[in-house]
């Protein structure tokens, strides 16, 4: 078999649009199979959060994750994630991948602040701080108070 006919542009010119259409359709099917939510949790984590008493939760928000604010090498990126606030913890996660797992007794160095409707959860201080900020779906002051309650209850357990 000669390879020349397969390498010739005229051979592919008639097939290219059809093959592109098939490739695009396959990519669309693969993309449709991916979960579009960030809210999936394993059973043990779901049970722990339910036992703690879920106060607030929001799925599929855009969080801005920032590191090193004020430094010349500061960086940030927008990350899709979900948040669950209980009476004893704050969990920011993208399915099984955890961004923050703030729990009573382990919240040293955390702070929460609000600017308008945006909420910032800060860990660390100065230029080495990590910040997760987001716009809650409703009641920014209530969200801030509930997150602050977890942080301050953690401070009193030490």
Q: Is residue 86 one of the residues assigned to a domain?
A: yes
Parts of the chain with a pLDDT under 50: 157-158
pLDDT of residue 126: 79
Q: Is residue 70 one of the residues assigned to a domain?
A: yes
Q: Are 56 and 85 in contact (CB under 8 A)?
A: yes
pLDDT of residue 28: 54
pLDDT of residue 33: 56
pLDDT of residue 43: 96
Residues 26 and 55 in one domain: no
Number of independent structural domains in the chain? 2
Residues 86 and 21 in one domain: no
Q: What is the dihedral of CA 120, 123, 126, 127, to 10 degrees?
A: -90
Residues 20 and 63 in one domain: no
Which CATH number do you get for residue 132? 2.30.29.30
Q: Is residue 38 one of the residues assigned to a domain?
A: no
Residues 14 and 68 in one domain: no
84: left (phi over 0), alpha (psi -120 to 50) or beta: beta
Q: pTM here?
A: 0.73
Q: Is residue 79 one of the residues assigned to a domain?
A: yes
Residues 97 and 121 in one domain: yes
Q: What's the CA gap between 48 and 34, in Å, rounded? A: 27
Look up residue 43 and give its two tokens.
């059973």
pLDDT of residue 157: 46
pLDDT of residue 5: 56
Residues 29 and 67 in one domain: no
Residues 70 and 19 in one domain: no
Q: Is residue 93 one of the residues assigned to a domain?
A: yes
Q: Residue-wise over 35-65: b if at least 16 C-beta within 10 A, else e?
A: eeebbebeeebeebbeebeebbebeebebeb
pLDDT of residue 123: 92
pLDDT of residue 127: 78
What residues does 101 pair with on adjacent strands? 91
* Structural domain span for residue 126: 43-156
């Amino acid at each position: 078999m000669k390879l020349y006919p397969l390498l010739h542009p005229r051979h592919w010119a008639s097939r290219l649009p059809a093959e592109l259409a098939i490739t695009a359709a396959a990519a669309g099917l693969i993309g449709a199979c991916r979960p579009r939510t960030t809210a999936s949790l394993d059973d043990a984590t779901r049970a722990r959060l339910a036992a703690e008493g879920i106060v607030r939760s929001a799925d599929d928000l855009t969080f801005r994750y920032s590191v090193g604010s004020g430094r010349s090498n500061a960086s940030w990126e927008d990350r899709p994630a979900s948040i669950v606030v209980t009476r004893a913890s704050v969990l920011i996660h993208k399915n099984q991948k955890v961004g923050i797992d703030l729990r009573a007794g382990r919240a040293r160095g955390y702070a929460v602040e609000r600017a308008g409707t945006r909420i910032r959860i800060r860990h660390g201080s100065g230029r080495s701080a990590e910040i997760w900020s987001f716009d809650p779906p409703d009641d920014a002051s209530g969200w801030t108070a509930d997150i602050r309650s977890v942080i301050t209850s953690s401070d009193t357990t030490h």
